[in-house]
Structure 1
Amino acid sequence: MTLPRVAASGTRRRTTRRGATLLAFALLTPALLALIVMRVVPLIAAVSQSFQHTSLGSGTSAFDGLANYGYLFGDPGFHATLLVTLVFNLILNPVIVILATALALLTVKNIPLVGLWRSLIFVPAAVPGAVVALIWSTALQPDGLVNAILKSLGLPAQPFLTSANQAAFSIGIMVTWGALGYWMIFIIAGLKDIPESLYEAAALDGAGWWRKLFAITLPLLKRPMAFVLIACTVGSFLLFAPVQLLTKGGPNGATNLIMYDIFNRTYLLNDIGVGQAEVVVLMVILAIVVAIQFRMLRDEDS
């Protein structure tokens, strides 16, 4: 009597597991289909088209090997675009991480109306990127709000978006204003995970605020700060709306970031093969960035 009961129990467990697996697949199917249609299929199409040449006259495509990549890497314009994108990211992303961390440190304390201050800082993150670009476009006009403030302070008006020296900086301000509140939330979550007992022990040893910051807070914030830095870098590489709406990559290519250059080659110049080759290059760069992220997080775990 015992053996049949054990066999029946094992059969029921396997049936239950199989049913749970099928239910999980059924629930995940819509998300998986959306992922395949919106991510995997375009990825395969981009890689395929990057090896083809499309005739503008007939619209037909033919295999062209590595010709698109050869043209792309031999184009000084692409070299300039890559340099502008890299410099933009190298300057902008650390600034965002530092400012987001500073704001998180200020708003994590029990200061008066702390919830209101957090909400006000987060509001720009809830505004679409195109709207942020239009707001700052108005503010940075020659007769806009920013120049009016400068004039009231006795300073000369600035060209901002029409200056090759200031356009990338101006777009960086827009991106920072729109992103700070979003990334601040991740830093606040990291601060909340730090045990209060560590600060109490440090206070008993006579440690001040700065000592606690560099000995406890920042070391234990490495993981969330690393995540914010890498995720922010990925977002900055994909930045498109402000450039397309405000500067069209100018003046003199000063804001010709790689996403806008892809749009320009593919849809304005109708050079689909080279545009898709640039997409593949961008995906490789992002894959390297994500690999660095996982390496940093894995090292932190170990």
Structure 2
Amino acid sequence: MSARRRRDLRLAAVLLAPAVLAMVALRVVPAVSAFGESFRHLSLRTGITEFVGLDNYAYLLGSPRFHEVLMTTLLFNLVINPVIVLLSTVLALLLAQKLPAVGVWRSLVFVPAAVPGSVTALIWSTAMQPDGLLNALFKVMGLPAQPFLTSPSQALGSIGVMLAWGAIGYWMLFVIAGLKDIPLAVYEAARIDGAGWWRRLTAITLPLLRRPMAFVLVACTVGSFLAFAPVQILTKGGPEGSTSLLMYDVYMNAYQVGDLGVAQAEVVLLMLLMAVIVAVQFRVLREER
């Protein structure tokens, strides 16, 4: 190996070291710790610590409550993730055009992504009050008032609206970046061949956007599975358990029930579930060569 190559490798190692150390400290170590503690009984109430093997997993897998929380989380992700990806793509296609003041419009769409999740929850909570902004608009349009967060049938959808509002602008930027990577010569050749807007969209744009859209879908899925702040701040898993998602249930097992072992076992199951879903998504959206 030449001296220059060794120097480049050392420089790369020095530049990557802070990010690698941070990832190990913030991701790998907690994951390994959670896996180890999932085989133990760790009570915050009594301070008892003992090895229980697979008992925590058996308790969760045999718990009707865990089954309900799991189904609620899967249903939530099944709906919210495609909606976010679809709306992000539509906005990206629109705002990638040469429109007047397009930079301003992009900034306005992105603003909700810069708002912390807790602030987003409070904003939408105010808007969804019985006498809030949304019901006032419904009244003007002659529509009946809606219960939103206080209704078992509407609360989870309301949480989804909050998350989508904060995520669409963020993921839109990744789709726009993917659009910018598509060579203009491909579109020019399609126009010469007489391809219309719809044909160019379906035959060129969407196929060449498969990779960035796959990234957006996978990252969006991980973010949705880890949703916690709106549930904790607004609904506490209610009404009637309709918004009890997995991350909130982990919090309940750890700090309300006081059993860290069960909570860590639930974290491990959540990581395994996300790994399987992400693997399936990569398989389905894999780019054909």
Give the TM-score range, shorter chain: over 0.9
CA distance in 2, matches of 1:58, 1:177: 42
Of 86-95 and 188-197, the range deviating more from structure 2: 188-197
Q: CA deviation at 1:301?
A: 5.7
Q: Give 1:239's aligned amino acid.
A: A
Of residues 29, 42, 53, the one that matches 1:65 is 53
Structure 2 residue 283 is the aligned partner of structure 1 residue 300: no
Of residues 224, 239, 259, the one that matches 1:271 is 259
1:6 aligned partner: none
1:5 aligned partner: none
Of residues 130, 135, 138, the one that matches 1:147 is 135
Specify every segment of 5 or more residues in structure 1 that has no aligned partner in the other structure, as ranges: 1-9
Q: Give 1:172's aligned amino acid.
A: G
Structure 2 residue 61 is the aligned partner of structure 1 residue 76: no
Q: Is the contact made by 1:226 and 1:296 (CA closer than 8 Å) also made in structure 2?
A: no
What does residue range 150-189 of structure 1 map to in structure 2 within 5 Å?
A: 150-189=138-177
Q: Note closer, same or farther for the CA distance 1:30–1:105 as it changes in structure 2 (3 Å cut).
A: closer
What does residue range 1-302 of structure 1 map to in structure 2 within 5 Å?
A: 13-14=2-3, 17-55=5-43, 58-295=46-283, 299-300=286-287, 302=289
Q: Is the contact made by 2:34 and 2:264 (CA closer than 8 Å) also made in structure 1?
A: yes
The one-character-per-residue Cα deviations of 1:173-224 (angstroms, maximum 9, x if unpaired) are 1111111110101111111111222222222222221121112111111111
Moved over 6 A (4+): none
Q: Note closer, same or farther for the CA distance 1:220–1:74 as it changes in structure 2 (3 Å cut).
A: same
Whichever of the two has the greater Rg, that structure is 1
Q: Number of aligned residue pairs: give it.
A: 289
Q: Is the contact made by 2:45 and 2:258 (CA closer than 8 Å) also made in structure 1?
A: no
The one-character-per-residue Cα deviations of 1:117-173 (angstroms, maximum 9, x if unpaired) are 111001101111111111101000111000000011111110000000000111111
Q: CA deviation at 1:35?
A: 2.3
The one-character-per-residue Cα deviations of 1:89-129 (angstroms, maximum 9, x if unpaired) are 01111011111111111111111111111110011011111
CA distance in 2, matches of 1:95, 1:294: 18
Q: Note closer, same or farther for the CA distance 1:20–1:210 as it changes in structure 2 (3 Å cut).
A: closer
TM-score, structure 2 normalization: 0.94
Specify every segment of 5 or more residues in structure 2 that has no aligned partner in the other structure, as ranges: none
Q: CA deviation at 1:18?
A: 4.5
* Secondary structure at the counterpart of residue 155 of structure 1: coil
Q: Percent identity?
A: 63
Q: CA deviation at 1:296?
A: 5.2
